[in-house]
Every structure is written in structure tokens, then in C-alpha cells.
């Protein structure tokens, strides 16, 4: 399912994240692939973010294109991360990478990869 232009995207990429994603995918030899962001049960706060490079879409996927950088979110994960902003941080406690700023999270763990919703 492609995200309609007049509807707010499930997630948004910052300009920096979009640029870093395009560079990363090019280095992986998959410039037309997308970053799949998903939510799974687990982690110290109850839910965890996952991210993988993916070039296969399903009928339940939301596809977000941000300046040529594509993000894919499945329908069940979208329930937990709708309205999130994905940024890129060059330096974090466990190295650099993409981070999800989720307005639905009522608490997060120290690593930033696990969260809890209301």
C-alpha cells in the first residue's frame, strides 16, 4: 500500500537521515531498496525497533519516499510508530545510526531501541 500524498506519512525522515540512507543503500549495492522499520515484542521496555534493508514489498506495507530515500513500514508496526521521525545520529552510546523519535512512546530504555506505549 503506497502512502497517499495528502495523508501525513506514517514516519518522516529528517534531511540528514534521508541523505545517510541513500548513501548506505548505495554502499550496499541496493540503491533502489528501502529501509524497513518494524516493531517486535521484546527489549527492556516491552517493544523494540528493528531495521533492515528490504527490496520486497507486501500488500500491507506503507511506502514513504523522502527525497528519494524509501522507508517501508508494515501495517502492524505502523500502529506503534505512527507520527515518528527517523533521524541519523553520527555518535550514540552504541555507535552511530538511525534513531526513531516516537511520540507514542511513554518510556524508553537507555539504548533507545526499546520502548513502551500507553
Provide the Cα torsion 46, 86, 28, 3; round to 10°. 100
Pick the CATH number of 11-117 from 2.60.120.10, 3.30.9.10, 1.20.120.610, 2.60.300.12: 2.60.300.12
d(CA 114, CA 38): 12
pLDDT band at 9 (very low <50, low <70, confident <90, very high): confident
Share of the chain above pLDDT 90, in %: 51
- Mean pLDDT score across all residues of the chain: 82
Share of the chain above pLDDT 70, in %: 75
The yes-or-no verdict on residue 82 having pLDDT over 80 is yes
Amino acid at each position: 500500500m503506497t502512502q497517499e500524498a495528502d495523508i501525513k506519512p506514517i514516519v518522516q525522515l529528517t534531511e540528514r537521515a534521508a541523505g545517510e540512507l541513500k548513501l548506505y543503500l548505495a554502499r550496499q549495492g541496493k540503491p533502489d531498496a528501502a529501509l524497513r522499520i518494524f516493531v517486535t515484542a521484546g527489549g527492556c521496555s516491552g517493544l523494540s525497533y528493528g531495521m533492515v534493508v528490504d527490496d520486497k514489498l507486501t500488500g500491507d506495507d506503507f511506502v514513504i519516499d523522502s527525497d528519494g530515500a524509501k522507508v517501508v513500514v508494515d501495517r502492524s508496526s505502523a500502529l506503534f510508530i505512527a507520527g515518528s521521525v527517523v533521524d541519523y545520529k553520527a555518535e550514540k552510546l552504541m555507535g552511530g545510526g538511525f534513531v526513531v523519535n516516537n511520540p507514542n512512546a511513554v518510556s524508553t530504555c537507555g539504548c533507545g531501541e526499546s520502548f513502551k506505549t500507553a
